[in-house]
Structure 1
Amino acid sequence: MQTRITKLLEIEYPVIQGGMAWVANAALAANVSKVGGIGFIGAANAPAEWVRSEIRRAKEITDKPIGVNVMLLSEHVDEVAQVVAEEGVKAVTTGAGNPAKYMKQWKEAGIRVIPVVASVAMARMMERAGADAIVAEGMESGGHIGEQTTMSLLPQVVDAVSVPVIGAGGIGDGRGMAAALMLGAEAVQLGTRFIVAKESTVSQAYKDRVIGAKDIDSVVTGRSTGHPVRSLRNTMTRQYLEMEKNNVSFEELEHLTLGALRKAVVDGDVAMGTVMAGQIAGMIKKEQTCAEIIQEIVQEAKETIKKCSIFAEDSCGNEAEHA
């Protein structure tokens, strides 16, 4: 399954692990890279020296390419941008802003720059700024989301830019990967599926909540603030939605969720913590190693594409026969 993305990032499979805050540390990212995909350390709002130590820890685990997801709204972003340039990571994905300010610095360091976008306009802007590839992420994903679904966003972004596009949001197995490839993607980015990887260091309570999720268990909070977030339903989300319904202040909403992601990921508080997960959580039924996840997804994608090819051949044959 070689594509422009596998060549660009020098990886075996077109599978990318999303840089999830608090979840995507060196252990997870390195083990995804080790087995042929590419893992991204989630810098989130962490200080630069934490990011540096995680990059170095990942390099102790594997000599395969690794990346860092840089949150552009972080108060430490300037220092983090410098650290990733100094440490020589293979790629950077960016979210929550425009990475143009750091593009020259990263390019000179030989880093592939891959912004995550939720609209065609942003995709075009990022290509003009010099992006090497684009992640088109639909609203099915966990965490901060846009308004378009992957099914509608992905092909429009593919048509709008010439750089390779990575599909993200609502992709949890090989059928989803095959669908993304059929829509023009040249790789897929997975987040929720890797949360329950055996190498993932998130709390067992978090993993169990994802594994036990039903198809209707994800909910979006924060629409009233302009910063919608998808997570799994719990006591906190019910309180948050009720507060939104009653038009409470932004400050009160912020206070409710202060440190909530850490509560779930580190402390295992899945009642009052934010259990970020995408809509595909209902598909996930067990913990697996990163190798098992990638191999299963790639094999299923190949089989799905093969079935489509056979179906197309049969259709052509039937049409010819009727003609």
Structure 2
Amino acid sequence: MSVFSRVCDVLGIEYPIIQGGMAWVSTASLAAAVSENGGLGVIASGGREAEWLRKEIRRAREMTTKPIGVNIMLLSSNVDEVVKVALEEKIDVAIFGAGNPAKYVPAFKEIGAKVISVVASEVFAKRMESMGVDIVVAEGTEAGGHIGSVSTMVLVPAVVEAVSIPVVAAGGIATGKQIAASLMMGAEGVQIGTRFIATDECEVHQNYKEKILKASTRDAVITGRITGHPVRVLRNPLARELIKIDERCGTQEDIDKIAAGSLRAAAIEGDLKRGSFMAGQSAAFVKEIVPVKKLMKELWDETVETIRKFENVDMEVKE
């Protein structure tokens, strides 16, 4: 399956699977487990202090010698401090989201790190390619956390057509069949977030994991539309209140009053009422909590099996 070689070669990984950088969820434990088992593990810096990130990078490197990535949220108030730490620790891969990383790309290139940018349009993907980004992640609106407005099935082939660098598909992917579908659309890898929450190595509160296991396809709802930066979360009392604010055209202040600290409340405290349980629509496909090693094998085995079903199929159009 040489089609996968570019993403794997660029990142130095075995499988073209990137673990999503989820704020308050993606810690060293999860990242190291994913990297150790053939993918690219990612530590999320969003909502965290820069020195916390330094400790997590070092902790991850105690658990694996394989490449580790850091997700850098460009909306964060301390983004400069986070970037400084990532550079000082000579991180292997920098993944930027929610903004334009132009000012930071040269510094990461200088230390030999690979740079990935999450994009929500083909226009932005072209811009990222022009500034030397190695890979773009085309993230559809099915994803958890901050989202764009275009579906994965539409966005991925549009971005593939627009750029020559490798494209990784994201948003709504939790099974090998969905990985295979992404590859058929021209992606050369996938980024998966929600599915990795329900693993033994993910250090979030058990309530978070259980909430994902119980989710249906309609339970991942969109909040914060009025801010211009909508967020997909699992339905609960907080989410319902946030949706009401959108419906009445409230303000950012209205959101801040009830949502401040809600990510920590979900991930660390497991607060089912006041926590913000960020997750994608793919939560509906998550049925059990498993070790990362088992999950990685199952994902790739199903991907290969799905693709092989079509290898000997006669697809010739009949006259």
The reply to whether TM is greater than 0.5 is yes
Cα deviations by residue, 1:101-126 (Å, 9 ceiling, x for unpaired) = 01111001000000001011110111
Letter in 2 for 1:38: L
Matches of 1:239 and 1:75, distance apart in 2: 25
- Pairwise CA RMSD: 1.2
Q: Which residue of 1 aligns with 2:164?
A: 162
* d(CA) in 1 for partners of 2:111, 2:250: 46
String of CA shifts for 1:151-191, please: whole Å, max 9, x gaps.
00001101111110100001110011001101111110000
Q: What CA distance in whole angstroms lies between the structure 1 residues aligned with 2:246 and 2:183?
A: 38
User: Deviation at 1:43?
Assistant: 0.6
Pick one of 68, 92, 95 that aligns with 2:94: 92
Contact 2:25 2:204 in 1 (8 A): yes
What amino acid sits opposite 1:246 in the alignment? R
Partner of 1:180: 182
Q: Tell me the alpha carbon deviations over residues 218-268 of structure 1, each in whole angstroms, 9 at most, x when there is no partner.
A: 110111221211011111111121232223332012211111111010000
Structure 2 CA distance, aligned partners of 1:249 and 1:108?
A: 41
**Structure 2 CA distance for aligned equivalents of residues 89 and 310 of structure 1:** 43
Counterpart contact for 1:86–1:109, Cα < 8 Å: no
CA distance in 2, matches of 1:73, 1:243: 22
Question: Counterpart of 1:315?
Answer: 315
Matched with 2:134 is 132
2 CA distance for matches of 1:18 and 1:308?
A: 29
| C-alpha distance in 1 between matches for 2:315 and 2:164 | 31
Answer yes or no: is 1:64 the counterpart of 2:66: yes
Partner residue of 1:191? 193
SS of 2:103 mapped into structure 1 = helix
The letter for the 1-side match of 2:315 is S
User: Using the alignment, how far apart are the partners of 1:154 and 1:62 within structure 2?
Assistant: 31
Q: Secondary structure at the match of 2:83?
A: helix
SS at match of 2:315: helix
Paired residue total? 317
**Higher-Rg member (1/2):** 1
Structure 2 unaligned segments of length 5 or more: list them: none
What TM-score, normalized by structure 2, do the two folds share? 0.97
Cα contact 1:3–1:187 (8 A) shared by 2: no
Determine the structure 2 residue equivalent to 1:254. Answer: 256
Aligned equivalents of 2:166, 2:216: Cα separation in 1:
33
2: distance between equivalents of 1:225 and 1:27? 33
SS at structure 2 position matched to 1:49: helix
2:222 pairs, out of 220, 244, 253, with: 220
Question: 1:28-70 deviations in whole A, cap 9, x for unaligned?
Answer: 1011001110111001132221111110000000001100001
How far apart are residue 310 of structure 1 and its match? Answer: 2.5
What SS does the aligned partner of 1:236 have?
A: helix
Percent sequence identity is 50
Do 1:240 and 1:253's aligned partners in 2 also have CA atoms closer than 8 Å?
Answer: yes
1:279 aligns to what?
A: 281
Residue by residue over 1:94-151, the C-alpha shift from the partner in whole angstroms, topping out at 9 and shown as x without a partner, is 0111111011110010000000010111101111111011000000000000000000
Q: CA deviation at 1:75?
A: 2.0
8 Å contact kept, 2:226–2:251: no
- The match for 1:201 is 203
- Partner Cα separation in structure 2 for residue 48 and residue 205 of structure 1: 27
Aligned partner of 1:243 in structure 2 is: 245
Higher mean displacement: 228-237 or 302-311: 302-311
1:119–1:153: 8 Å Cα contact kept in structure 2? yes
Contact 1:85 1:105 (C-alpha < 8 Å) held by counterparts: yes
Deviations 1:268-290 (A, max 9, x none): 01222111110011110000111
| Contact map agreement 2:24 2:47 (CA 8 A) in 1 | no
Mapped contact 1:120–1:156 kept (Cα < 8 A): yes
1:77 and 1:87 mapped to 2: Cα distance?
15
Distance 1:122 1:248 in 2: 29
TM-score (norm 1): 0.95
